[in-house]
Amino acid sequence: MTLTQAELDRIAQETLAHYDARADDFWAGTRDHDVRQNRGALLEHMAGPAPFKILDFGCGPGRDLKAFAEYGHEVTGIDGSARFAQMAREYSGCTVWEQDFLKLDLPPQHFDGVFANASLFHVPGQELPRVLRALHDTLKPGGVLFSSNPRGDNSEGWNRGRYGAYHDIDAWRIHVGGAGFTELTHYYRPPGLPLEQQPWLASVWRKPKN
C-alpha cells in the first residue's frame, strides 16, 4: 500500500517529535555504546589520503561525529531532530545540518564517506530508493556508504512512537544495489554472539568510480 504525502509528513513529524521529547534520555542511554567496529568498517574501505570528508547521517547528539573529528577527519552531521542537531553542535563542535530525511538537500559529489548508523531504518520503504540515491549523489566517485539498521522480516510500521522499516540482507541488497552501490561487506552485531542474538545488520557499500 502506497503512503500518501500526508502520511509521509506524519511519519516524519511524529518520529522526530518522539526524539525531540526524549533527547536527554536517548543521549544518556547511547553515548557510551561501543560502535568502534562500525566506524572502523567505514574507514577501512575508504581510499586515498586522509583526512576524509564524512557525513554522519542521523548523527543524533553527536557521539560518532565527535569521534570522527578526533580521528582528524572533516565531519558534517545531519539530523532531523532540532534537539539532536543542537546537542551535536555543542558536543562535537562540528557543523550539523537540520534536515528531514525525506526532504534532503545535499551537495553533489562532496563527501568521501557517509556513516548512517541506526538512521536509515526510519525511512519508509517506498522512499528509500530516493533517499539512497541522494546519498549516492552526495558521495564522490569511489566514496563509501556505511549503514547499520535493526534487521527484520521486511515489515515496517509504528513501534513505540517511531516509524521503522526492518530489512533482511537480501532486501537491503536490492535497495542499496538499486541505488547504484556495490556491496563490500556485511556483518551482524553485537559481535561474538549467535545470529539470533545479533539484531543489527551492518553493511558497507561503494559508489563506483565511473
Q: Is residue 167 part of a domain?
A: yes
Asked if residues 94 and 75 have their Cβ atoms less than 8 Å apart, the reply is yes
Tell me, what's the pLDDT at 210?
A: 80
Give the span between the Cα atoms of 191 and 135, in whole angstroms.
Answer: 27
Tell me, what's the pLDDT at 207?
A: 98
Asked if residues 119 and 137 have their Cβ atoms less than 8 Å apart, the reply is no
Q: Is 32 exposed, middle or buried (0-12, 13-18, 19+ CB in 10 A)?
A: exposed
CA distances from 43 to 52, 166, 206 (A): 9, 25, 12
Domain that holds residue 175: 5-30+52-206
Of residues 168, 171, 159, 173, the one with CA closest to residue 198: 168
Q: Is residue 172 part of a domain?
A: yes
Q: Is residue 44 part of a domain?
A: no
Q: Is residue 151 part of a domain?
A: yes
Say how many domains are in the chain: 1
Q: What is the mean pLDDT of the chain?
A: 97
Tell me, what's the pLDDT at 28?
A: 96
CATH at 78: 3.40.50.150
**Full-model pTM:** 0.96
Residue 1 has pLDDT above 90, yes or no: no
Residue 105 has pLDDT above 80, yes or no: yes
Model confidence at 17, pLDDT cuts 50, 70, 90, reads very high
Q: Is residue 195 part of a domain?
A: yes
- Beta-strand relationship, 53-57 and 111-117: parallel
Q: What are the residues whose beta carbons fall under 8 Å from the beta carbon of 56, sequence distance 6 or more? A: 64, 65, 68, 75, 76, 77, 78, 115, 117
Tell me what the mean pLDDT of segment 169-190 comes to: 98
Q: Is residue 149 part of a domain?
A: yes
